[in-house]
Amino acid sequence: MKFSIPSSGRCNVSLKVDNLTVYYQTLRGSVQALEQASFEVANGEIMGLAGESGCGKTTLSTSLIMLTPPMKHIGGSVLLDDELLPIADEKKMVDYRFKKVSIIPQYAMNAMNPTRKIGKMIEELLRSRKIDYKSREEELLRRIKMVKLPQDVLDLYPIELSGGMKQRMVMVLSTLLDPSLLIADEVTSALDVSSQKAVSELLVEFRDQQIVKSIMVITHDISILYQIADTIMVMYAGQLAEKAPTKTIIHVPRHPYTKMLISSLPKVGVKFEEHRLEGIPGKPPLLLNPPEGCRFKARCPLAFEKCREAPPFVEIEPGHFVACWKEC
């Protein structure tokens, strides 16, 4: 397994998100779930997206592929392979979904049509995209072999497969048209540890075989990201907090939230009697009327005057972005 970050860096950008702001429209006002997100994902990069529930990580990924009401695109742009993604236009996105941007949804094991045999379902799916099934069949079988599923899986119904097998089948399905960007939303959370490992390693293999150019892995389990991701981006309450190479985030994080988050994770070898871990006091703000400025300031031990303004997401060293006034 490779854990290297492409050295050529920025001339090799696969995904470029610029000031993306997405709100949820509700009767009581807008839920500001994603505020001014700007970041880049390089070619061949596996980017992990981590954060607590409700921090906007799923909002960010969903808005890249299917921005439907009550979500509303407020501003910002998304460039994929130097091409503008029409994320706000649902109809125009049809040309990009599945072909350019693809997703392995949360609870992917239940994503397949239970009334069709898997092969039949894939055939229908491709026909709906006006693609000849026969032309992809050979590749499909090769991929099925790659994820270590038996060839006759196409003649089975989804119910006949185990959770891990279904997950792998959906992975094959999602990547069948060699999308440029693959979004993997909580793909491992419902699996056993051994299937978890197999599925995560397959994601890396998809990248290594250049089936997909870049992958965004969304999870709340940072230890999975430590195993497979090249970079990790941490979000807090709809704002980006920090993005850096995996090792940097785990060992020398700079944002106070990342620091507290990483130090609160139990590790094998740490015992309560010997080393007491501390959580983060307080809870995230409601995003309906979020506080002005840095949204972490109420829980932050370092907060000072300036935190009333929103901190910019700046690069403090190559590849390491932080949004904190203390680090600027």
Residues in touch with other proteins (CB under 8 A): 1, 3, 52-53, 148, 192-201, 220-224, 226-227, 250, 260-262, 264-272, 276-280, 283
CA dihedral defined by 86, 229, 294, 30, rounded to 10 degrees? 40
Q: How far is CA 125 from CA 121, 128, 133, 177, 186, in A?
A: 6, 5, 9, 12, 23
Q: How far is CA 228 from CA 4, 102, 144, 289, in A?
A: 11, 19, 21, 36
Closest approach of Cβ 268 to other proteins, in Å? Answer: 5
Nearer CB in complex with other proteins: 180/231: 231
Closest approach of Cβ 278 to other proteins, in Å? Answer: 7
Nearer CB in complex with other proteins: 234/322: 234
Nearer CB in complex with other proteins: 61/219: 219
Nearer CB in complex with other proteins: 181/228: 228
Using the 8-state DSSP alphabet, how is residue 48 labeled? E
**Distance separating alpha carbons of residues 327 and 280, to the nearest angstrom:** 20
Nearer CB in complex with other proteins: 12/189: 189
Nearer CB in complex with other proteins: 52/139: 52
Q: What DSSP element (H or E) covers 312? A: none
Closest approach of Cβ 193 to other proteins, in Å? Answer: 5
Closest approach of Cβ 109 to other proteins, in Å? Answer: 13
> Position of tokens 């700079």?
254
Closest approach of Cβ 249 to other proteins, in Å? Answer: 11
> Position of tokens 């997950």?
167
Closest approach of Cβ 263 to other proteins, in Å? Answer: 9
In three-state form (DSSP H/G/I as H, E/B as E, the rest C), the secondary structure along 88-109 is: CCCCHHHHCECCCEEEECCCHH
Instruction: Give the amino acid at 17.
Output: V
